[in-house]
Amino acid sequence: MKTLTEYLWFETQKKRELVRLTDTVAQLVKKSGVKEGFALVSAMHITAGVFVNDNEPGLFDDIWAWLEGLAPEKPEYRHHETGEDNADAHLKSLLIHHQVMVPITRGLLDLGTWQQVFYAEFDGQRRKRVIVKVMGE
């Protein structure tokens, strides 16, 4: 089995931001030489997430509104009693989840027509990383 492990580093300009990773992950698949397998894309921080969805700005607005409705930014969280102020970012990460597995077929990411891979930052403006692990034959 072939494997490739790479770390992608981000320091977003905003506290909450989406970063499209599809092309970068596809380049890593090509670099790996894997023809049949999987690419794991995983945020290595508890206030970020990775997901697959459509690359459409209206949908991004809907996603942010949905997340804010379920885990609003507010001062009343018990986590804030520890001196932190990012409890909503932890909750948003739970909703989005921290990783995805993308199939590789014939050396290419095997995504649906509109599917793209995104990194979602919920507590940014500092250096964070994502691991991409490509595995297969």
d(CA 45, CA 59): 24
Residue 11 neighbours by CB distance under 10 Å: 10
Give every strand in the sheet of 99-105, ordered side by side: 2-10, 128-136, 37-43, 99-105, 108-109
83 three-class SS: coil
User: Kindly report the CA angle at 49 between 41 and 109, in degrees rounded to 5?
Assistant: 30
Q: Which CATH number fits domain 2-136: 2.60.120.460, 3.40.640.10, 3.20.20.100, 3.90.1150.10?
A: 2.60.120.460
The candidate with the shortest Cα–Cα distance to 29, out of 124, 129, 119, 136, is: 136
Domain ranges of the chain: 2-136
Q: What is the pLDDT along the chain (137 residues), one digit of tens a residue?
A: 999 999 999 999 999 999 999 999 999 999 999 999 999 999 999 999 999 999 999 999 999 999 999 999 999 999 999 999 999 999 999 999 999 999 999 999 999 999 999 999 999 999 999 999 999 99
pTM score, two decimals?
0.95
